[in-house]
A and B are shown apart, each in its own frame.
Chain A
Amino acid sequence: KNQVEQSPQSLIILEGKNCTLQCNYTVSPFSNLRWYKQDTGRGPVSLTIMTFSENTKSNGRYTATLDADTKQSSLHITASQLSDSASYICVVFDRGSTLGRLYFGRGTQLTVWP
């Protein structure tokens, strides 16, 4: 069973609308949680990184929240644009070894329509 679950699997919204993507994880211990954006045919690009002590972090129109007690995170996208169409991947990092270990979700495929 994957230790990082994302919902919804896919989402379609109209340009200019807001949306929220969810991430639940069971990884323990936990060092930080990351959200990545992956355009089709490209590698993931980091949007935000939050440690367990942070509740929220923003990067432009992207705002991530984290509840380390319930092991839930969300990514809120404000005033969506066509270029936001991509897969958004939640990644939990466990710095339990020299290398550290990344646990990847399967991503939420977001499509923004004009």
Chain B
Amino acid sequence: EADIYQTPRYLVIGTGKKITLECSQTMGHDKMYWYQQDPGMELHLIHYSYGVNSTEKGDLSSESTVSRIRTEHFPLTLESARPSHTSQYLCASSEYRRDTDYEQYFGPGTRLTVT
């Protein structure tokens, strides 16, 4: 079982509010990721980080921002939530292993609903 945690698990919030989705891992992994997933659709990478003070945008354009001040912590922030941000947000981390290459471990996800 992977030691990667996300809070909150569920969030319903009004339009225009600022929100931060928390992600923490205790495995010491350098690489961390944020994915967005809509029902019945594939996961889309929105942010990733190689390590502390490193953040990059992913394939899917997102109005969210991320920070990586500590290895174990990779929060995602939306300055002004909109209904179009309603989705499931999954955090993941990875390490290089000789037998599995970059094995990714996923958190349980945050289901965000913006009304």
Contacts and interface: CB of A to CB of B under 8 A. Distances in A.
B11 to A, nearest CB: 13
Interface in A47-105: 49, 89, 93, 95, 98-100, 102, 104-105
A41 B43 CA distance: 14
B50 A95 contact: no
A105 to B, nearest CB: 6
A4 B41 CA distance: 12
What class of interface size applies to chain A in its complex with B? 20 to 34
Interface in B1-43: 2, 4, 9, 31, 40-43
B108 A43 contact: yes
Interface in A3-53: 4, 9, 31-32, 41-46, 49
Nearest to B97: A49
A interface, over-half SS: loop
B50 A102 contact: no
B1 to A, nearest CB: 9
B92 interface: yes
Contact of B106 (A43, A95, A106): A43
A46 B102 CA distance: 12
A105 B41 CA distance: 8
A43 to B, nearest CB: 3
Contacts of A89: 42-43
Contacts of A105: 42
Interface of A: 2, 4, 9, 31-32, 41-46, 49, 89, 93, 95, 98-100, 102, 104-107, 109
Given A89-B43, A100-B101, A106-B41, 6 more contacts: A41-B111, A46-B105, A95-B102, A99-B102, A102-B104, A106-B42
